[in-house]
Each structure stands twice: as C-alpha cells, then as structure tokens.
C-alpha cells in the first residue's frame, strides 16, 4: 500500500513538493511542512503521533 502523498501542509496550506523531503508525516499520513512540524514540536495535532520526514517519491512513480 502506497503513502498518500499530499501536496499541501494541513496547517498553513503551503505547497509541498513530492520529490523533495519538505514534509513531515505521522503514521496516519497527516502531512505538515517542516516549519509547522517544528512549531508543533514534531507531534501530530490530530493523533498525537510523531511527525517524521516523508520519504521522497521519484517523478516517474508520481500519480
């Protein structure tokens, strides 16, 4: 099962690039930019889980 690669931060709605690790996600795939994640102390406000760097996806694998 592939990750849902969201293209916007759930907090500030800034654009997130799929090819660059410019996003943080929790185990439920809540997605935030690096700045918002840092402001939230790398803790997901939705589930309380840890926010970690989202893996990069190659351009050819993007949907």
* pLDDT tens per residue across all 63 residues of the chain: 677 889 999 999 999 987 666 899 999 999 999 999 999 999 999 999 999 999 877 766 445
pTM of the model: 0.82
Residue 52 DSSP one-character state = E
The structural domains of the chain, with segments of one domain joined by +, span 1-54
Tokens of 42: 């790398």
């Amino acid at each position: 099962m592939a990750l849902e690669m969201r293209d916007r931060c759930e907090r500030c709605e800034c654009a997130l690039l799929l090819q660059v690790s410019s996003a943080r996600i929790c185990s439920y795939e809540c997605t935030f930019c690096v700045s918002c994640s840092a402001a939230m102390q790398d803790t997901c406000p939705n589930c309380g889980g840890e926010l970690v760097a989202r893996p990069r996806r190659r351009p050819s694998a993007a949907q």
